[in-house]
Homo-oligomer: A and B are copies of this chain.
């Protein structure tokens, strides 16, 4: 196996977006695209695009540009989307069920193996072909089954406990939707979707785009650099 290249987080964050745009281009029947054309579409500079993709071996050819289908597939391989992943979901309220359906409809690659919840009125409900299990059974389930990804859609108070059980049960990554920052061993991949953080940023910009609506600051500017 070739030595693994260390690639910055910023580049990894951009790869899914490249793939998303390439998927659209494929749908439109486009065969190839130059970094210049790609730049206009995606909003990164052409130089940025070339630099990003060179991290993985420079897929383009001078004077030709990028082959859309090939680049799409190659980014999928880099991201690892060509594998299959088994998923368990902890927290099976509305958001957990939405994620289950999202995974279910995603197409190949992702299988929701089991769903868990702590609430008696949620346990036993059916989502697609699955029956939601009691959270108390998570440990025993993972002792008998292999899951790659644990999705946490519990409330803040239950999330760390859920993460601990998922890690003990051997998952390789956690997709966390609970509004807390989880403590997990370094070997565990962790990706957070903090909805409230995103909503609060939106609110901030709404008020700033419309200065007449924004709350006047009651606070004086001033530096207290040593507090």
Listed in ascending order, the chain A residues whose CB lies under 8 Å from chain B are 1-2, 4-5, 12-13, 15-17, 19-20, 34-35, 43, 50, 54, 56-66, 74, 77-83, 85, 93-95, 97-98, 101-102, 148-149, 172-173, 175, 179-181, 187-191, 193-211, 213-227
Measured CA separation A58–B227 after assembly (Å): 9
- A102, B148: Cβ atoms closer than 8 Å: no
Residues of B close to A95: CB separation below 8 A: 98, 101-102
> Given A50-B225, A196-B16, A223-B58 in contact, is the A202-B149 Cβ separation under 8 Å?
yes
- A204, B66: Cβ atoms closer than 8 Å: no
- A227, B20: Cβ atoms closer than 8 Å: no
Measured CA separation A16–B12 after assembly (Å): 24
Q: Within the complex, what minimum Cβ distance (angstroms) separates A197 from chain B?
A: 4
- B221, A58: Cβ atoms closer than 8 Å: yes
12 CB contacts below 8 A, A to B, read A4-B211, A12-B201, A12-B205, A16-B197, A35-B227, A54-B223, A58-B225, A64-B227, A83-B213, A94-B94, A94-B97, A95-B101
Measured CA separation A224–B53 after assembly (Å): 10
Measured CA separation A61–B60 after assembly (Å): 55
